[in-house]
Structure 1
Amino acid sequence: MHRIPEKLWTAGKGSSVKCFLCPHHCVIGEGMWGLCRTRTNRKGALYSVAYGNPCSVAVDPIEKKPLYHFLTGTDILSIATAGCNFHCLNCQNWTISQASPLSTGKRNLSPAQVVQTALRYKVPSIAFTYTEPTVFYEYMYDIAVLAHENGLKTVMVSNGYLDPEPLAALVPYLDAANIDLKCFDDKTYRHLTGGKLQPVLDTLLTMGKSGVWTEITHLIVPGITDDPVQFRSMCRWLTSNGFAFAPLHISRFFPTYKLPHLMPTSIEHLTRAKTIALEYGIRFVYPGNVPDDIESHTFCPGCGNVVVERHQYNVVKRLIENGRCSFCHTFIPGVWDIQDPAL
């Protein structure tokens, strides 16, 4: 077990401790566990069983995160531990997200070994993904620092449910993120995930101000997150807060976990949502989990030509030079090459 720095928790009444990693602020009694199943109280101190104990390490196409405007066409080393601070009814990875790292086997992979693995596979970046990186925060942080020291980029694929102080400490070592914005209604957020909306919006604002390239995923779940009024409010908030040029991935739901009785999201609903997002000024909208590859292409907002052509998760053609459309030279926001800053 890895002892968690005292700045992320305080001693409570008796032998309890209070965790300040995420907005749940769990009060954890002696021998008990936080909601995320990764943090435990041992003799009045907080420990992580996630540190150095990944349940999954793999090389993926970066489009799979999904990230469409960040080092597009490259591979990325993906790493995750078990555990999550949300309990989403629709979770696709529930077998690991709703488990403890103690139940998924012990890998004993240090931050240095993770970075060396990325270098050995000659990938330019490392992603903290699959479950929820917040719950293996200390492990992620140490990997990110070492990654930057070795010239690698870092990516966090997250629900955004992280307290401001640990997020502020992390962002200097993050290059990109995909934040999952589940819906735009607090009651629905609590029902679907067990969390609240505002902390996720606060995380998005911090990412935007910090220069971390940020893309957003929104899953449309029939009967739960498919309210067009809420979706319009979400699009209005995004464009009003500096995210008009942040790619919005509108994903199709398929029945899973605790929602096996629902129907998949219709293609027509995704098409309507894309139209609404474009009407509100979001420039790059990508319907996901759909059969038509054209929805994954990147189109130049200037001339309308395809500047990135994708087939599933593979980039077939890229017509962007120095961040600009090869046809009309319109600027295409993103981090297209390893030397580019977040734009």
Structure 2
Amino acid sequence: MAACQVCFRHCSLSEGDIGFCGARTVRDGKVIAYNYGKVSGLALDPIEKKPLNNFFPGSYILSVGSFGCNLRCPFCQNNDISWSEEARIFAEDAKMVSPEELVETALDTRAQGNIGIAFTYNEPLVGYEFVLDTAKLAKERDLKTVLVSNGTAELSVLAEIVPYIDAMNIDLKGFTDEYYDRLLGGSRKQAMDFIAEAVKHCHVELTTLIIPGENDGEEEMREMSAWIHGLEVANGKNIPLHISRFFPRFKMTDRNATDVRKVYRLAEVAREELEIVYTGNC
């Protein structure tokens, strides 16, 4: 048996087993990224779509996704590649893209305003080895590397990759342990520890999707924004917060989209502590 050390789950795996995330396995007694180089999506996006509004605004970035995720959000927008049976089938047939090939593709789109590569769509940290190998090459070619993540990873993983990461958008999905445990199957503490460390090393913006009846309380937002402000003071930098509107999808079609007035009100609450607050999907 071998224990995966990427996130709080520490999956104990036998040879050939697949971890909870669907993206890690054991080969020759060693835990490796089963999804290494297996690309499920590639698109040239405005940087603001990540969303990163305060990192080279107006530029474009090559977005790349693989498959696998270590959370189980019932409102997932990319469940088909994150944790579906289709993702496992895709894994068997996908052609591997090397870090060198991905960097060359990014360089080919520089004339279209591309500044680098964003690892997104699924959870990139469950295959952090591919992120690391690609980001090292990208830095050599003066390309930026962006991570769009749920922040559910050990600090040892962050320590490996962060010297090569220029910016992150990290989901802070809510601010209670109950929400993370019951709805997402995650660890709020691990996400918060990851964010607190990442802010020390690169540009970080945060996103919170507001789910009606779940994480939409004003007091919760007040506590969250106060915590973020504490990080700002400690690190001498602003941390933009994106407060985003939920739409019914996947396994969460039992409620309406978030009331736009609620999103705007929570943004007002967040601005009691934070200078830079955006509203999304409104």
Relative to the length of structure 1, the TM-score reads: 0.77
Show CA shifts across 1:255-279 (max 9, x none). Answer: 0111111110001101110110111
Say if 1:118 and 1:126, in contact at 8 Å, map to a contact too: yes
The structure 1 residue matched to 2:166, chosen from 175, 178, 189, is 175
The structure 1 residue matched to 2:138, chosen from 140, 144, 147, is 147
CA drift of 1:99 comes to: 3.4
Higher relative contact order (CA 8 A, sep 6+): 2
Superposed, 1:1-343 pairs within 5 Å as 16-99=1-84, 102-104=88-90, 105-122=93-110, 123-210=114-201, 212-242=202-232, 245-280=238-273, 282-290=274-282
CA drift of 1:73 comes to: 0.7
Gaps of 5+ in 1: 1-15, 291-343
Show CA shifts across 1:263-296 (max 9, x none). Answer: 100011011101101112x111111001xxxxxx
Mean Cα deviation higher: 21-30 or 72-81: 21-30
Say if 2:204 and 2:239, in contact at 8 Å, map to a contact too: yes
Q: What residue is the counterpart of 1:308 in the other structure?
A: none
Question: 1:21 aligns to what SS in structure 2?
Answer: coil
Show CA shifts across 1:173-208 (max 9, x none). Answer: 000000000000011111121111011111111111
Letter paired with 1:118: A
Show CA shifts across 1:199-218 (max 9, x none). Answer: 111111111111x0000000
Q: What residue is the counterpart of 1:317 in the other structure?
A: none
Question: 2:232 aligns to what SS in structure 1?
Answer: coil
Q: What residue is the counterpart of 1:299 in the other structure?
A: none
Give, in whole Å, the separation in 1 of the partners of 2:29 and 2:160.
25
Say if 2:24 and 2:127, in contact at 8 Å, map to a contact too: no
Give, in whole Å, the separation in 2 of the partners of 1:227 and 1:238.
17
Say if 2:61 and 2:115, in contact at 8 Å, map to a contact too: yes
Question: 2:57 aligns to what SS in structure 1?
Answer: coil
Determine which structure has more spread, i.e. the larger CA radius of gyration. Answer: 1
Say if 1:249 and 1:285, in contact at 8 Å, map to a contact too: yes
CA drift of 1:49 comes to: 2.0
Say if 1:114 and 1:143, in contact at 8 Å, map to a contact too: yes
Mean Cα deviation higher: 42-51 or 88-97: 42-51
CA drift of 1:23 comes to: 1.5
Letter paired with 2:89: S
Gaps of 5+ in 2: none
Relative to the length of structure 2, the TM-score reads: 0.93
CA drift of 1:102 comes to: 4.4
User: Identity across aligned pairs (percent)?
Assistant: 42
Question: 1:239 aligns to what SS in structure 2?
Answer: helix
Give, in whole Å, the separation in 2 of the partners of 1:99 and 1:46.
22
Show CA shifts across 1:14-44 (max 9, x none). Answer: xx11010112111112332111101112453
Aligned length: 273
Say if 1:82 and 1:99, in contact at 8 Å, map to a contact too: no
Give, in whole Å, the separation in 1 of the partners of 2:37 and 2:173.
29
Letter paired with 1:283: E
Question: 2:133 aligns to what SS in structure 1?
Answer: helix
Question: 1:218 aligns to what SS in structure 2?
Answer: strand
**Runs of 4+ with >4 A deviation:** none
Aligned-pair RMSD on alpha carbons? 1.4
Say if 1:49 and 1:102, in contact at 8 Å, map to a contact too: no
Question: 1:209 aligns to what SS in structure 2?
Answer: coil
Mean Cα deviation higher: 62-71 or 48-57: 48-57
